């Protein structure tokens, strides 16, 4: 039985607990949050069969194998580092770090311990299909990522740090060479430009102000293209030399769901020592892209 402690009992912490409770050979042993109502709400998901703590330090003292950190971003590095020093595997909510100094501290801590971030789209079955279809020889010409939704503008983190890890982690998962070239950024939106491969161009537009929920990536090559639509749960595969019959959209089953697949990878890696798909290398690549060459504009 793999015993897990959960730090942070807000929306995402509750979602993680709901997923963990359905997994075999996994037990949520303890939870921690300074808000007693949040603790009570999450404990009720486990029928009260869980230890509850007001402080993270108490959680560290429990007999647990891994810790899920779902606190506000300001606490991510501090809690992850403390847990790693205690020999715990760490599953960290995005963003794992918001500065290069914090990133260096995080990656340098207990390198033998399992550390991964919840870049769940790298565990999406449609994205896995896209990676397979593109193969190693694919040369991107243009890539367009749109990630928008009408929502509350948060005070603890802006849209860039909250939303951009999703499309950026997908691009890192799909392509070996990515370089940030510029980013116009406000509190509720961002428009970033990147170089992909030798001569490919990518753009990422994210927004909390957009009235429509969109999660789409369009990847165009010289001979074939791929369109990923997460909202519609569809992938279109397009062969340019046969536009009349070269468009297909395979039916892909969402089992397990991406979050469950990510948590299963976390547990398996903690047990075996294998590097997670969304482990230290991806954390480093995504975070470095996010802090490079930013132009900030308050809106």
Contact between 2 and 25 under an 8 Å Cβ cutoff? The reply is yes
Which pTM was predicted? Answer: 0.93
Domains 2-113 and 122-258+288-296 share a fold: no
Cα–Cα distances in angstroms (integers) from residue 108 to residues 95, 112, 272, in the given order: 17, 10, 20
The CATH superfamily of 2-113 is: NAD(P)-binding Rossmann-like Domain (3.40.50.720)
Q: Encode pLDDT of 255-272 as tens digits.
A: 889 999 999 999 999 999
- Identify the pLDDT of residue 242: 61
The domain ranges of the chain are 2-113, 122-258+288-296
Using pLDDT thresholds of 50, 70 and 90, give the confidence band for residue 245. low
pLDDT averaged over every residue in the chain:
93
Number of CB atoms found within 10 A of residue 21's CB: 15
| Neighbouring residues of 299: CB distance < 8 A, sequence distance ≥ 6 | 186, 187, 188, 189
Using pLDDT thresholds of 50, 70 and 90, give the confidence band for residue 244. low
Using pLDDT thresholds of 50, 70 and 90, give the confidence band for residue 295. very low
**Does residue 293 carry a pLDDT above 60?**
no
* Fold classification of 122-258+288-296 (topology level): Dihydrodipicolinate Reductase; domain 2 (3.30.360)
Contact between 264 and 143 under an 8 Å Cβ cutoff? The reply is no
């Amino acid at each position: 039985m793999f015993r897990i402690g959960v730090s942070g009992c807000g929306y995402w912490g509750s979602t993680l607990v709901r997923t963990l409770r359905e997994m075999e050979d996994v037990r949520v042993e303890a939870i921690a949050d300074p808000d007693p109502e949040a603790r009570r709400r999450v404990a009720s998901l486990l029928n009260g069969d869980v230890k509850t703590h007001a402080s993270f330090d108490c959680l560290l003292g429990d007999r647990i194998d891994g810790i899920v950190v779902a606190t506000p971003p300001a606490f991510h590095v501090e809690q992850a580092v403390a847990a790693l020093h205690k020999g715990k595997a760490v599953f960290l909510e995005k963003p794992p770090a918001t500065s290069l100094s914090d990133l260096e501290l995080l990656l340098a801590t207990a390198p033998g311990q399992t550390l991964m971030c919840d870049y769940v789209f790298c565990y999406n079955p449609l994205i896995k299909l896209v990676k397979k279809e593109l193969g190693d020889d694919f040369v991107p010409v243009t890539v367009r990522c749109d990630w928008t939704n009408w929502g509350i503008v948060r005070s603890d983190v802006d849209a860039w740090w909250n939303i951009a890890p999703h499309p950026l982690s997908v691009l890192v998962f799909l392509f070996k060479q990515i370089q940030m070239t510029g980013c116009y950024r406000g509190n509720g939106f961002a428009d970033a430009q990147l170089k992909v491969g030798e001569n490919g161009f990518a753009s990422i537009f994210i927004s909390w102000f957009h009235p429509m929920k969109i999660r789409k990536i369009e990847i165009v090559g010289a001979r074939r293209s791929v369109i990923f639509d997460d909202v519609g749960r569809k992938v279109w595969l397009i062969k340019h030399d046969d536009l009349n019959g070269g468009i297909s959209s395979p039916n892909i089953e969402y089992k397990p769901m991406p979050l469950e697949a990510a948590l299963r990878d976390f547990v398996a890696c903690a047990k075996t020592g294998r590097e997670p798909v969304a482990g230290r290398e991806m954390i480093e690549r995504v975070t470095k892209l996010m802090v490079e060459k930013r132009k900030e504009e308050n809106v």
